[in-house]
Structure 1
């Protein structure tokens, strides 16, 4: 019996040490609903687990591969690794788990346009902690919403198109 307990404990430890990979270019932003720039206002939030984050990341790669907007238009060529992704989870009116995906091209994040009226030089956009709502900018910025429960996406759009 002692060996059996030790074996179960060992298996538990090994399983708990396994962590699924999440890209360095993905961040999950919780509680963005007080943020004035977030477009969906007063919605309930939820915290996705690693499996849901990994699913969304893989699903985005499929969306990019197909690259078709809600209007049936094939957009410009998009490479997953050229972007940073802000995942903003919320519950829709039917309590389904939705992840709003905000995509920012790495060039914009790493080389931001400087505010000439400010003395501070911004070296990089703080994309891991602040939601950015950008107007226009072409395929440097795009958004999609992923219904984690239904395994579907909607509202895929590329800025300026």
Structure 2
């Protein structure tokens, strides 16, 4: 029910353009790909449901988050929630594409929202570079986590459920 309300809120806010969008128009995220990861870096002016004051993450901040993902994801994923019939996320991290969104929380900490989804080798669409990927269900093929840049820690791991 909560997810349905979230989707409806997105539709309503998109329709009525209620966000304080910056003067520049968002067209496409910065595609940053290495041998270890494939990410989209969304700018501060991206039109989406990201809390707090927005900022555009730098490649150095993405590198910092990626190192922490590689080293700490297994620790916060120890309960393996929703990973019985879908991939175990920390064992398959390279197979996920990631979208990065930056914001400042109510305490003034800089947070990266990392939105992850299973990458299909034959998936030639570039829609993931223009829109935040939001999927209901799908198990661990779709998950997100937050990274506090100021405290250098991962938190709020959220793995999709099943239909």
Shorter chain as denominator, the TM-score bin is 0.5 to 0.7
**Residue ranges of structure 2 left out of the alignment (5+ in a row):** 1-31
| 2:73 corresponds to which of 47, 64, 68 | 64
The structural deviation recorded for 1:146 is 0.4
Instruction: Give 1 or 2 for the bigger CA radius of gyration.
Output: 1
Structure 2 counterparts to residues 116-127 of structure 1, below 5 A: 123-127=124-128
Encode CA deviations 1:79-112: one digit per residue, 9 max, x unaligned: 11111000101000112110000001112x844x
In terms of fraction of residues, the more strand-rich structure is: 2
The structural deviation recorded for 1:130 is 1.3
**Residue ranges of structure 1 left out of the alignment (5+ in a row):** 1-20, 112-122
Q: Does the 8 Å CA contact 1:28/1:87 hold for their aligned counterparts? A: yes
Q: CA RMSD in A?
A: 2.4
Q: Runs in 1 of length 4+ with deviation above 4 angstroms?
A: none
Q: What is the aligned residue count?
A: 122
Provide the C-alpha distance between the structure 1 equivalents of 2:141 and 2:65, rounded to a whole number of angstroms: 20
- Cross-structure match for 2:79: 73
Provide the C-alpha distance between the structure 2 equivalents of 1:88 and 1:146, rounded to a whole number of angstroms: 10
TM-score, length of structure 2 as denominator length = 0.65
Provide the C-alpha distance between the structure 2 equivalents of 1:155 and 1:143, rounded to a whole number of angstroms: 8
| 1:95 corresponds to which of 95, 99, 108 | 108
Structure 2 counterparts to residues 4-153 of structure 1, below 5 A: 23=34, 25-31=38-44, 34-35=47-48, 38=49, 40-41=50-51, 43-68=52-77, 73-75=79-81, 76=83, 77-78=88-89, 79-107=92-120, 110-111=122-123, 123-153=124-154
TM-score, length of structure 1 as denominator length = 0.65
Cα separation, partners in 2 of 1:28 and 1:147, compared to 1, 3 Å: same
